[in-house]
Every structure is written in structure tokens, then in C-alpha cells.
Amino acid sequence: MATPPADECDADPRVDALVHELIGRVADRWTMIVLEVLGEHGTLRFTRLAALAGGVSPKMLTQTLRQLERDGLVTRTVHPVIPPRVEYRLTALGAGLGEAFCGVWVWAEQNLGRVADARRAFDAAAEGAPAAGAADR
């Protein structure tokens, strides 16, 4: 695995903390889906975003959007009409994060077959091996 040069490993601890936070955030199921949907469809209202995200509860979508807004990745615009109209869109910061993690999809596409082969080999070997802990009995 590629690692940053040694002088970059001595980075500001605040940067290190932010990287860890962001990895944790984008590792959650809904953050990357919301970033992807907004990246593909642009400005969306809550209900349309929920429909395109597929299966997210209103509570989880609200929590995800609030965190993304707090981090500066999403902008929430409330239009002063009756009934209120609220729209969400990616900021440049959010679009940049989405682009940075796009590499994961590229890697997955390139290695899908290899991962499937590795899983099959592992599962086949595990079927012939005694269950974990069986030798301890």
C-alpha cells in the first residue's frame, strides 16, 4: 500500500484528526450515498434526495445532512415560501471529497473479479477446515 513520504507523516495533528474523522464519516453507509446522489443530480429537495438514496429513513437522512452541512460539504437553502421549500446541494468542498473517494469505485471496478476469486477460495478452504475453536474442546 502506498504511504505518504516520511515528511508528510509528521503532519499537523489537526490534519491527522480531520482525516480520521472524514474516513469515519464516509465509511458510514449514507454519507457516500448522499454525496453521490447530490453529485449526480445537483440541487435536490429532501423527499427527492430520500427517494434517490433508496431506503434511508428520514431521521438518518436528516442526521447525515446536518453533519455534512456542519462539515461544509452540503449547503441547505430554505426558501421563504408556504409551505417552506428546503433544498440541498454539494459545496465545492463536498464535490472535492466525492471526487477523492471516487478512486475506491475505480479500484472496486478493476478488482471485482479478483476479490470474488479470493472470497471463493477462502470460503472453500473454510468449508474443509474444522470450525474455529473446535480443537479447543
Mean pLDDT of the chain: 85
Asked if the model's pLDDT at residue 113 lies above 70, the reply is yes
| Cα three-residue angle 28-29-30, rounded to 5 degrees | 100
Q: For residue 18, what pLDDT band results from cuts at 50, 70 and 90?
A: confident
**pLDDT one-digit tens code per residue, 39-91:** 999 999 999 999 999 989 999 999 999 999 999 999 999 999 999 899 999 99
pLDDT attached to residue 131: 53
Decide if 6 is inside a domain: no
For 116, the domain range is 12-128
Decide if 102 is inside a domain: yes
Q: What is the CATH number of the domain that holds 33?
A: 1.10.10.10
* Cis check: omega of the bond before 5, within 30 degrees of 0: no
Measured between alpha carbons, how far is 73 from 67 in angstroms, rounded to an integer?
9
Asked if the model's pLDDT at residue 3 lies above 60, the reply is no
Decide if 75 is inside a domain: yes
Strand pairing partners for 75? 89
User: How many domains does the chain divide into?
Assistant: 1
Task: Identify residue 55 by its one-letter amino acid code.
Answer: G
